[in-house]
Structure 1
Amino acid sequence: MTKTLRKKTVPAAPADPMPRRVEPCVATLVDKPPKGPQWAFEVKWDGYRLAVHVEPGEVRAITRGGYDWTRKFALIVAEARQLGHASMILDGEAVVLDDQGRSDFGLLQRAVGKKPSLHEPSEIIFFAFDLLYLDGHDLRSLPLGERRSRLEPIIAGRTGPIRFSEEVHADGAEFFRAACELGLEGIIAKRRDKPYHSGRRPEWLKIKCTRRDWFVIVGYERSTVPGAIGRLLLAAKKGDGLVYVGGCGTGWSNKESVQLRELLDAIPAKRPPVSLKRKGAIFSEPLLVAEVEYRAWTQDGKLRHPSFKRVGQRAEEVEVYHLD
């Protein structure tokens, strides 16, 4: 009697190995929206850039800087498990919305922080705007339009922690005006016909309603008010170093000014972090950053009419202004 031997079924290996991390594509800052049908427009979200990696035995939330913040975004991770796919990488932004539906970075910081806050982690929303990997296939070589067409049926219509970042079908200039009137930070423009490339790219553009960026605090000058700060000394990144871009002397309360000075006095610099000869400058280690609103750049590379908004830490996932 002849026996029929049955071959064991071995699961097929994925066509493309899933990367452990993808360096994100970063938008280039420009002054006005581009024109042409090849451009797609979205709201510019003010939050933490995240890549959500879904694998059969693991889901991870990876920040722009490569940190694993899965625990901070537990509800987003739990939702990602329910999307119906064995493996995927979602690219997007984690935000907290204010009462008018606008993303607010300060609210997000408090929601993920250790201090008590009126905003809970359950209020954090992940707006997914790109799909980089799906069920064994690396999608980064596909045009944005095709990647988005695969992402939309997975997420569109969901109202939980993960939502779809919708494209706005409008003229770029009109959308930009409307965004600014609504108090949004700005808009993003992306080429529909381009693949996904890591790093700062010309096919992704950001247009801000006001120029508002993060700069490294490298020191301060004393105020005539005892214990307070007169001017913050600010720097931008250039290559692997820092370049002085001017001082900021407005935007804080007296209480905030005193608190800032206490923070900086606790981290005195052993040597100046930037090349600056300025009488009365007190240098600090470049560990803190300030978000600053300003009108433009002067011809000698300094901030024009800067105003302080808030302070943060470089270890957080904030994008320090880069001069390169």
Structure 2
Amino acid sequence: MLSLNALSPMLADSRTIDLSESGWIYEQRLSGCRLLAQTRTPTRSGKVQLQTRDGSDATGWFPEVVESLAQLKEGPCILDGVACVLDDRGRCDREGLSERAKRRGWYRGARPVFYFVFDLLMVQGADLTNEPLSQRKQRLARLLGTPLLNVIPVHHYERSEAVALLQQGKAQADFAGLMAKRGASIYKPGIRSADWVALNAQGPHERIPT
């Protein structure tokens, strides 16, 4: 069975890709803190653990996320996502998240953190890392089918939607870009893979078909 302490997140490459190529799905890039999360079975104590990209234990930093994930009944699970603080317009607020992370816990007047989940690496103890991303996405959608407070599944787009978002985003200073991921890709912990590509809306990192 996978162990959170032995895992590092899969990382994205930065290169030019052809958006007319089939087999890719796209997600909006989020400005936040990359987190892996492990839940336990409901009968065990210490059900949830959060871990940053560098392996730091962040379980006590964001108790509202821990409390929400503890409600999952299909444990043990391992999820991959990004912790964000949102502003009044629903945009990622880097300064707000930095303040929460710096304080290492809840405090009076703290702004809530939301955990945006985009991948599922283990469910009910079964290792999913060798399954295609498209199948992991389907399992994640089922797992988070019942809404949880402070836990949000990340929506993914097909090519036509991604092209429109990138074209519109070039005129928006707060649009960070997209993540392109091969639907057939397996999860490679700690690897910077060409199967995941960061597309910057403000730079020439993709060929957009006309």
Partner of 2:208: none
Contact 1:32–1:173, Cα closer than 8 Å, also in 2: no
Of the three residues 9, 18, 22, the one matched with 2:2 is 18
Contact 2:85–2:93, Cα closer than 8 Å, also in 1: yes
Contact 1:48–1:95, Cα closer than 8 Å, also in 2: yes
Contact 1:145–1:193, Cα closer than 8 Å, also in 2: yes
Partner of 1:188: 179
Partner of 1:39: 24
1:154 to 1:181, Cα distance in 2 relative to 1, 3 A? farther
Report deviation, 1:44: 0.2
Partner of 1:197: 188
Unaligned runs of 5+ in 2: 206-210
Aligned residues: 196
In structure 1, distance between residues paired with 2:94 and 2:146: 24
Larger Rg: 1
Identity percentage of aligned residues = 26
Equivalent position amino acid for 1:104 in 2 = D
1:175 aligns with 2:165: yes
In structure 2, distance between residues paired with 1:114 and 1:23: 24
Normalising by the residue count of structure 1, what TM-score does the alignment of the two structures yield? 0.56
Contact 1:55–1:86, Cα closer than 8 Å, also in 2: yes
Normalising by the residue count of structure 2, what TM-score does the alignment of the two structures yield? 0.83
In structure 1, distance between residues paired with 2:108 and 2:200: 28
1:101-116 paired onto structure 2 within 5 Å: 101-114=90-103
Contact 1:50–1:64, Cα closer than 8 Å, also in 2: yes
Backbone CA RMSD of aligned residues: 2.6
In structure 2, distance between residues paired with 1:41 and 1:97: 21
1:1-324 paired onto structure 2 within 5 Å: 17-21=1-5, 22-31=7-16, 34-56=19-41, 57-58=45-46, 59-114=48-103, 120-121=110-111, 123-156=112-145, 158=147, 160-171=149-160, 172-182=162-172, 183-198=174-189, 199-210=191-202
In structure 2, distance between residues paired with 1:119 and 1:177: 38
Equivalent position amino acid for 2:82 in 1 = E
In structure 2, distance between residues paired with 1:75 and 1:27: 28
Report deviation, 1:179: 3.3
In structure 2, distance between residues paired with 1:151 and 1:208: 26
Report deviation, 1:70: 0.3
Contact 2:68–2:148, Cα closer than 8 Å, also in 1: no
Which secondary structure does the structure 1 equivalent of 2:157 belong to?
Answer: coil
Contact 2:39–2:72, Cα closer than 8 Å, also in 1: no
Report deviation, 1:63: 0.4
In structure 2, distance between residues paired with 1:119 and 1:173: 40
Equivalent position amino acid for 1:27 in 2 = A
Contact 1:40–1:191, Cα closer than 8 Å, also in 2: yes
Unaligned runs of 5+ in 1: 1-16, 212-294, 297-324
In structure 2, distance between residues paired with 1:130 and 1:35: 24
- The one-character-per-residue Cα deviations of 1:93-141 (angstroms, maximum 9, x if unpaired) are 00112222221222210133339x99724x2110000000011210000
- The one-character-per-residue Cα deviations of 1:24-47 (angstroms, maximum 9, x if unpaired) are 111111356633331000000110
Report deviation, 1:159: 5.6
